[in-house]
């Protein structure tokens, strides 16, 4: 679009071009209507919201509403707000030198009005790209009215030799400077109530008041607020008159399915080329990683009101690949694949992301992370192998009896952390009953995935209390459950 107006540098040329001004809400509305009619996705990279959040957000934009996105942490609230920029016109004209992006055809500030009065059609204009029309402020207790609305600038008054009665001494805050832009206030309940009150007239009437100056500035702003339900009880709340002035409140949520969670993790994980090309990740490993977050969201040890962010899986996936990468480097290998024991490397990513209730604090963060990992294994285990019931008939022959007897009759085996891939595979292949179970229940599994599945089976039997597992300095020891108990005695 700028190419069409590249030669337009004055107000007279702009009028002659036939340019028509639009409010920002009309811009968003018209461009969204165009995308919907063409079947285009206005919010690319957002997964799991196709039938819930995005339709509500689109309806709010079509209704020209200010919007409040309400949801727990890690639910893409800020991402949604930033993607709204793509619905703006690519370029818009503004009066050159204006502090508040004045529309040349509808100026608000004294500066622009006087400049146009003086130069008329020769008033210089510049062009503002949509990427520069996004303002964002994190609500913190130290935010002031001066930060958001503005204040009197004594230095400006002194330099220009102006009286404090002259409105030119005003220094505009972030909100007036975001005129004709999208303005996002994150974590709105953290904003002090008296600061929230200062937004009332801006949202409704367009008036702003600075140190006694009552300025009629019908600011043209698309407000987007984000809030976490937890904040309503822990830190603050949104005052009722402000909520009344926000057109639409939209509830966000976590992914409902593992497949959607995997898409988000794949998209957001910060991996380099070496990690992507040198480390093979079985699909089961990806499922298991996401299942940990699903287990955390329903765990009795985790504060459900606080939520479990999607960043948990993202940072855990990054840690998982880094664990395998480090192991391969120590073993002198260029390529490797994810092992189930590598998951112990994701514990720091989990413990830093979950808020524990009292029972969880008693267990300890690391212990809770292990519990979530084992619960994830138990949830996925029946998808691959026969389900292990809590109560089993003593005389019945179970599918795992031969494997358990193998551990009973041997000293078990040790799975060291830094084995080469060749040593790792040879060790798992050395258990004939383990191979038989895989051949029986997963005959079509690829050779590359088979070794992860073998280890998954062993950890599953440990989770179901059929085998014991002990961590020592350089690896894990798997043994028969009762043999391990007797040896302790």
Q: What is the pLDDT of residue 232?
A: 55
Give the residue-averaged pLDDT of 234-249.
83
For the cut 80, the answer to whether the pLDDT of residue 482 exceeds it is no
Give residue-wise pLDDT tens across range 422-451: 999 999 999 999 999 999 999 999 989 999
Q: What is the pLDDT of residue 6?
A: 62
Q: What is the pLDDT of residue 365?
A: 93
Q: What is the pLDDT of residue 481?
A: 78
For the cut 80, the answer to whether the pLDDT of residue 210 exceeds it is no
Classify domain 254-383 by CATH number: 1.10.8.80
pLDDT confidence band for 5 (50 / 70 / 90) = low
pLDDT confidence band for 398 (50 / 70 / 90) = confident
For the cut 80, the answer to whether the pLDDT of residue 112 exceeds it is yes
For the cut 80, the answer to whether the pLDDT of residue 12 exceeds it is yes
Would the CATH topology of 2-251 be identical to that of 254-383? no
Q: What is the pLDDT of residue 473?
A: 82
Give residue-wise pLDDT tens across range 247-262: 999 999 999 999 999 9
Give the residue-averaged pLDDT of 449-472.
93
Strands (E), 83-205: 91-95, 125-129, 134-138, 150-152, 170-172, 182-186
pLDDT, mean over the chain: 88
CATH class entry, domain 2-251: alpha beta
For the cut 60, the answer to whether the pLDDT of residue 3 exceeds it is no
- C-alpha 403: how far from chain center: 43
Give residue-wise pLDDT tens across range 78-91: 999 999 999 999 99
Give residue-wise pLDDT tens across range 351-384: 988 999 999 999 999 999 999 999 999 999 999 9
Instruction: Quote the percentage of the chain above a pLDDT of 90.
Output: 64
DSSP 375-414: HHHHHHGGGTS----SS--TTSPPTTHHHHHHHHHS--EE
Q: What is the pLDDT of residue 456?
A: 96
Give the residue-averaged pLDDT of 195-209.
78
Give the residue-averaged pLDDT of 183-209.
84
Q: What is the pLDDT of residue 213?
A: 66
Give residue-wise pLDDT tens across range 142-184: 888 888 888 777 777 677 776 655 667 777 889 989 999 999 9
Give residue-wise pLDDT tens across range 291-348: 999 999 999 999 988 889 999 999 999 999 999 999 999 999 999 999 999 999 999 9
For the cut 90, the answer to whether the pLDDT of residue 115 exceeds it is yes
pLDDT confidence band for 206 (50 / 70 / 90) = low
Give the residue-averaged pLDDT of 128-139.
94
Q: What is the pLDDT of residue 313?
A: 95
Give the residue-averaged pLDDT of 478-485.
72
Give buried/exposed letters for 84-105 (b at 16+ CB in 10 A, else e).
Answer: bbbbbbeebbbbbebbbbbbbe
Domain boundaries in the chain? Answer: 2-251, 254-383, 385-489
Give residue-wise pLDDT tens across range 16-49: 988 899 999 999 999 999 999 999 999 999 999 9
Write down the H helix ranges in 352-488: 358-363, 365-380, 401-409, 421-429, 432-441, 447-463, 481-488
Give residue-wise pLDDT tens across range 388-397: 877 555 556 7
Among candidate residues 109, 82, 84, the one with its CA nearest the CA of residue 95: 109
């Amino acid at each position: 679009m700028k190419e069409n107006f590249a030669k337009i540098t004055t107000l007279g040329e702009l009028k002659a071009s036939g340019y028509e001004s639009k409010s920002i809400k009309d811009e968003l509305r018209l461009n969204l209507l165009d995308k919907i009619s063409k079947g285009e996705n206005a919010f690319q990279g957002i997964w799991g919201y196709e039938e819930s959040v995005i339709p509500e957000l689109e309806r709010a934009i079509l209704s020209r509403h200010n919007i409040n996105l309400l949801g727990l942490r890690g639910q893409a609230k800020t991402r949604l707000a930033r993607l709204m920029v793509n619905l703006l016109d690519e370029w818009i004209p503004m009066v050159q030198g204006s502090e508040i992006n004045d529309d040349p055809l509808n100026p608000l500030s004294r500066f622009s009005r006087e400049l146009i009065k003086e130069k008329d059609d020769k008033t210089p204009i510049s062009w503002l790209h949509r990427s520069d029309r996004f303002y964002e402020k994190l609500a913190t207790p130290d935010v002031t009215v001066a930060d958001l609305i503005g204040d009197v600038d004594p230095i400006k008054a002194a330099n220009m030799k102006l009286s404090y009665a002259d409105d030119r001494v005003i220094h505009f805050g972030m909100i007036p400077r975001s005129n004709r832009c999208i303005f996002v206030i994150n974590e709105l309940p953290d904003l002090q109530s008296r600061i929230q009150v200062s937004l009332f007239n801006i949202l409704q009437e367009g008036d702003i008041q600075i140190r006694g100056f009552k300025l009629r500035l019908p600011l043209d702003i698309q407000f987007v607020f984000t809030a976490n339900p937890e904040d309503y009880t822990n830190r603050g709340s949104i005052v009722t008159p402000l909520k009344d002035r926000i057109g639409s409140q939209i509830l966000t949520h976590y992914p409902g399915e593992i497949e959607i969670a995997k898409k988000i993790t794949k998209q957001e994980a910060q991996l380099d080329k070496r990690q992507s090309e040198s480390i093979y990740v079985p699909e089961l490993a990806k499922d298991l990683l996401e299942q940990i977050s699903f287990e955390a969201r329903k765990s009795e040890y985790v504060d459900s009101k606080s939520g479990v962010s999607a960043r948990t899986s993202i940072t855990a996936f990054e840690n998982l690949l880094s664990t395998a990468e480090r192991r391969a480097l120590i073993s002198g290998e260029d390529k490797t694949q994810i092992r189930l024991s590598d998951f112990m490397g994701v514990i720091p990513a989990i413990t830093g992301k979950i808020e524990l209730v009292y029972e969880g604090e008693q267990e300890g963060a690391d212990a809770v992370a292990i519990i979530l990992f084992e619960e994830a294994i138990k949830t996925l285990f029946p998808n691959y192998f026969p389900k292990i019931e809590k109560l089993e008939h003593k005389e019945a022959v179970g599918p795992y009896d031969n494997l358990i007897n193998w551990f009973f009759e041997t000293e078990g085996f040790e799975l060291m952390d830094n084995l080469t891939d060749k040593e790792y595979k040879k060790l798992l292949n050395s258990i004939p009953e383990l191979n038989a179970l895989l051949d029986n229940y997963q005959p079509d599994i690829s050779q590359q995935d088979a070794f992860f599945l073998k280890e998954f089976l062993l950890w599953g039997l440990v989770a179901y209390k059929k085998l014991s597992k002990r961590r020592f300095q350089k690896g894990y020891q798997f043994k028969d459950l009762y043999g391990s108990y007797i040896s302790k005695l």
